[in-house]
Structure 1
Amino acid sequence: MILNTTKSLTFYTPDLTTDAGAVYLDTGISAGFPAPVEDFHEERLSLDSMLVKNKKTTFYARVSGQSMIDAGLDDNDLLVIDRSLEPINNKIAVCFLDGEFTVKRLRVEKDGVWLQPENALYQPIRITSDNQFIIWGIVTNVIKKV
């Protein structure tokens, strides 16, 4: 379910109506040499149950842009964001800054708070009293398409 769309992020809420999940094979899948499948167990797996710790405070948002590519956040990746987690130094956060949402790494120093992009083409943003600024939530996971 789409909750809200802004210029840079589209927010979604977790679908809590079903626990069906997808089929999960509990045998490891080798990324090296193929391994024989002697015994495997099939069960249902819900990504919401694995990725969402606090259902009422967790949202999804799609990344738009390239400022966090060196942190592994690429354009169109889906972020899992928990609003109940404490924003601390070095966490990746979704912030509301001067009327727009952005995702950056928090850098808390003696001289203030900075939003640190993870791409050398982008400059850090120093937060001042002139900014309208809210840390909206902390990124806990990223979901990618291959």
Structure 2
Amino acid sequence: MQVRQIVEIAPDAAGLVLIPIMGAALCAGFPSPADDFLEGSLELPRWLAPNPPATFAWNISGDSMRAAGIFDRDLAVVDRSLKAGNGSVVVAAIDGEMSIKRLRIEGSVARLAFDNPDLPAFAVQEAAEGEIWGVVRFTIRWHVARAGLMR
């Protein structure tokens, strides 16, 4: 049996980047009004955010993406430099409101789908205005109560 050694990545200052956290929650459901301001920043290793100027973090509100493993109060790290493809989890501006959805491309029709079988997908063309804003690179989920961390 082969034993693998776990190598820890050293957290040196040169390898850390600051990613802005958007102030309004990203809707994991139907879009809701959002504020256009920054809430703060998140310090990440560069290997998690290889393109810092194009990377943002958003708080998630709602659970319509639960089949994708994205839940209410998670933090999604979004990269605007990545090209979205069929099956990508994306942040989309739908009629001017930011929302998280799964991109489904069927032939020449692009649809934005919830990862919840109870909610229907809709064609991007059905929205008065729709734009893929970025691709979700990963999410962060708290596994302990957040209130317990505030001391």
TM-score (norm 2): 0.67
Count of aligned positions: 116
TM-aligned CA deviation for residue 131 of structure 1: 2.3
What corresponds to 2:69 in structure 1? 72
TM-aligned CA deviation for residue 91 of structure 1: 0.5
Question: Separation in 2 of the partners of 1:3 and 1:66?
Answer: 19
**Is 1:107 aligned to residue 104 of structure 2?**
yes
**Is 1:86 aligned to residue 105 of structure 2?**
no
**Structure 1 vs Structure 2: percent identity of aligned residues?**
32
Contact 1:14 1:58 in 2 (8 A): no
**Is 1:128 aligned to residue 125 of structure 2?**
yes
Question: Separation in 2 of the partners of 1:12 and 1:94?
Answer: 18
Within 5 Å, give how 1:1-20 maps onto structure 2. 2-5=21-24, 8=27, 14-15=41-42
Alpha-carbon distance change, 104 to 50 in structure 1, aligned in 2, over 3 angstroms: same
Question: Separation in 1 of the partners of 2:69 and 2:53?
Answer: 26
Alpha-carbon distance change, 88 to 68 in structure 1, aligned in 2, over 3 angstroms: same
TM-score (norm 1): 0.69
Structure 2 gap ranges (5+): 1-19, 28-33, 144-151
Structure 1 gap ranges (5+): 17-46
Contact 1:13 1:58 in 2 (8 A): no
RMSD: 2.4
TM-aligned CA deviation for residue 125 of structure 1: 1.4
Q: Which runs of structure 1 show a deviation greater than 6 angstroms over 4 or more consecutive aligned residues?
A: none
For residue 63 of structure 1, give the secondary structure of its aligned residue in structure 2.
strand
Q: Highest CA radius of gyration, 1 or 2?
A: 1
Alpha-carbon distance change, 145 to 116 in structure 1, aligned in 2, over 3 angstroms: same
Alpha-carbon distance change, 15 to 64 in structure 1, aligned in 2, over 3 angstroms: closer
